[in-house]
Chain A
Amino acid sequence: EPEVTQTPSHQVTQMGQEVILRCVPISNHLYFYWYRQILGQKVEFLVSFYNNEISEKSEIFDDQFSVERPDGSNFTLKIRSTKLEDSAMYFCASSGGGGRNNEQFFGPGTRLTVL
């Protein structure tokens, strides 16, 4: 069964460093998302992406964040200058359609630890 994959599973970085989290969505999906979950808190929407541009972003997704689909398979989230409060699980998701009834399939997540 096709699934969303994410690498790395765990990333440790120093405050102020740049990190790139990678995702491979399900191959025929066209809509891509990033969510994050701070330890002990609910999952929060960060950004949605379609047709090589951002469809929607939350207030969390400020100028230090960017997303890119550099090739036909990968979808990346870059955090330019990490802060301690960026420590969280980051989940990538993809869906075949962009409507509200379309199911989003989640990857296993990348645990980001900022020291």
Chain B
Amino acid sequence: KNQVEQSPQSLIILEGKNCTLQCNYTVSPFSNLRWYKQDTGRGPVSLTIMTFSENTKSNGRYTATLDADTKQSSLHITASQLSDSASYICVVPNGGATNKLIFGTGTLLAVQP
């Protein structure tokens, strides 16, 4: 069954610190992996999309890595800000021709002053 798992479930860090969120997926065939940021009560907003040939991709203070061999990805947030407090969701399109997205359960990040 195609699944996306994330860890940790939740994380509390102090403003200015860095953190790394993890994602494991079992989707085949694999095309790409996305990281979304979801503020409470809002829709997901895309941070990065990585295809199987990309190992690292940055978007400002966000850096995503992908290891297609081990089917793992990470999202590193540098110099965290209070506004980074949100749920970070790892998403992979379902295998095959469909564009249906498989969502992970997300990591709830709280950045404290």
Contacts and interface: CB of A to CB of B under 8 A. Distances in A.
Interface of A: 4, 31, 33, 35, 41-45, 48, 55-56, 58, 89, 91, 93, 95, 98-109, 111
B99 A107 contact: no
Contacts, number: 63
A101 B32 contact: yes
Contact of B98 (A43, A48, A103, A106): A48
Given A31-B99, A100-B31, A102-B99, A91 B43 contact: yes
B98 A56 contact: yes
Given A42-B106, A43-B89, A104 B43 contact: no
Interface residues of B, number: 25
Which of A45, A98, A100, A106 gathers most chain B CB within 10 Å? A100
